[in-house]
Amino acid sequence: MHDHTAHLVPEAERRVARRLVYGVAGVGILALVGLLVLWPRGPAPDPGFSTEGLRYPTAVIQAIEPGSCDTVEAVAPVECDLVTIRIASGEAEGDVATMQVSARDTHIPELEVGDRLIVQHNPMAPDEWAYTYWEHERALPLVALAALFVVAVLALGRWQGARALAGLGLSVGIVLAFLLPALIRGRPALAVALVAATLIAFVALYLAHGVTLETTVALIGTLGSLLLITLLAVTFVHLAHLTGLSGDDAQLLRVSAEALDPAGVLLAGIIIGALGVLDDVTVTQVAAVAEIRAANPALGAAELYRRALRVGRDHIAATVNTLVLAYVGASLSTLLFFARSTRPATQILGQEVVAIEVVRTLVGSIGLVAAVPLTTALAAVIAGRRRSEGDAAAAPSTPDGRPSWEDFAPEA
């Protein structure tokens, strides 16, 4: 009787594992169908303003001389710098021109000889305004920083780091090729975000951690928490009457892309923004269960859950703090502006630009908190063993002693 029970338990666990894998495969198929249905087809909508004839070549500053120039706003000449530039790309490469930079242009950083710029060339404008400052050319420092990031990931992660970088590249590709074009063309923002987030979760987790049962459990925990985040985001964006039109960029986007749903874009941002941290939490919890089980294969699901949850509590405390500080850092300029206000704190928090960040932070944090018990419970059920001699003897092992769940993988 004892031996018979010992054989039934692993078989029951295999059936559970098989159902999980089939369920995840079904979600993946639905995501691919959604990708095909929502794929951005046809030309992008007219931005509503003409850019015909405008060019954006790179240029190098040759000289800077103080002077005066006329502006549309001023009736008299104002102080400005006369910047001599050499065009470094495009049809006019090698040409030398003069660009006026008014002292009132506070958005332009301090210019120095040798700076590489991106300038706007308007051949229809008067000669003194044919070239205007657009941006500093930042490709070199950004490429250098990206290379440093890649080296750091590969140095520590080695082959797994390379897989993680490949997943990151594919995730960015999904955003650029599907998410952004679909939103601009007016596809349902919530559906687009869910499809994109699901595909990113599949790609990022399976590429970085391999196609294993552990990764599948982490993926289920991620998708379940993402569903909760979606429900909370939809509910509180509606209850708080958030329009997604609080910033200047959102207003400009609304004018240039009339089919865009600003509130939907806000929801999409909340969903995509929470996904990256969810992956970290769910993978950590599955790994915790696997390590605890490897140390004591006789532990049952309930004890595995309790021990792994202790790890999760510490992790979630640090992660929630990280998430809040990340949003504070991203919105620091806005917070500084409101910190100077004499209005009551309740009114400041009620400003849409602040309320959006509050909703984004708290919804994401609740999703993170929920991910810990959800993922831990799933992992404990799959990895749990009965405290019997037969089950203890059947505990999986590997030559290097690392945890393996191959005994529980679905059978073909």
Domain boundary among 80, 104, 121: 121
Classify residue 140: in a domain, yes or no.
no
pLDDT in tens, 267-286: 999 999 888 788 888 999 99
163's enclosing H/E stretch is helix 139-174
Instruction: Specify whether 115 is located in the same domain as 245.
Output: no
Q: What is the model's pLDDT at position 153?
A: 93
**Whole-model pTM?**
0.78
Average pLDDT over residues 360-370: 91
Q: What is the model's pLDDT at position 282?
A: 92
Instruction: Specify whether 325 is located in the same domain as 357.
Output: yes
Average pLDDT, rounded, for the chain:
81
pLDDT in tens, 83-141: 888 988 888 888 888 888 876 677 788 888 888 988 888 888 777 788 888 888 888 89
Average pLDDT over residues 246-256: 62
Residue predicted with more confidence, 385 or 218: 218
Instruction: Specify whether 272 is located in the same domain as 334.
Output: yes
pLDDT in tens, 154-191: 999 888 889 989 999 999 999 999 999 999 888 999 99
pLDDT in tens, 376-403: 998 988 876 434 334 444 444 444 444 4
Classify residue 133: in a domain, yes or no.
no
Classify residue 352: in a domain, yes or no.
yes
pLDDT above 70: percentage of residues in the chain: 81
Q: Cα dihedral angle (208, 213, 214, 217), rounded to 10 degrees?
A: 100
Q: Taking the CA of residue 224 as centre, how many other CA atoms within 13 Å lie in the half-sphere pointing to its CB?
A: 21
Q: Beta strand 78-87 with 58-69: parallel, antiparallel or unpaired? A: antiparallel
Classify residue 256: in a domain, yes or no.
yes
Q: Cα dihedral angle (91, 93, 95, 100), rounded to 10 degrees?
A: 90
Classify residue 82: in a domain, yes or no.
yes
- For residue 89, give its domain range: 58-121
Q: What is the model's pLDDT at position 407?
A: 42
Instruction: Specify whether 112 is located in the same domain as 198.
Output: no
Instruction: Specify whether 80 is located in the same domain as 200.
Output: no
Instruction: Specify whether 113 is located in the same domain as 252.
Output: no
Instruction: Specify whether 194 is located in the same domain as 334.
Output: yes
Rounded to whole angstroms, how far apart are CA atoms 157 and 166? 13
Burial of 217 from C-beta contacts in 10 A (0-12 / 13-18 / 19+): buried
Classify residue 284: in a domain, yes or no.
yes
The arrangement of strands across the sheet holding 96-102 comes to: 96-102, 78-87, 58-69, 116-121, 131-136
Rounded to whole angstroms, how far apart are CA atoms 328 and 357? 8
Classify residue 234: in a domain, yes or no.
yes
Number of domains in the chain: 2
Instruction: Specify whether 258 is located in the same domain as 400.
Output: yes
Other CB atoms within a 10 A radius of the CB of residue 131 amount to 25
Instruction: Specify whether 263 is located in the same domain as 387.
Output: yes
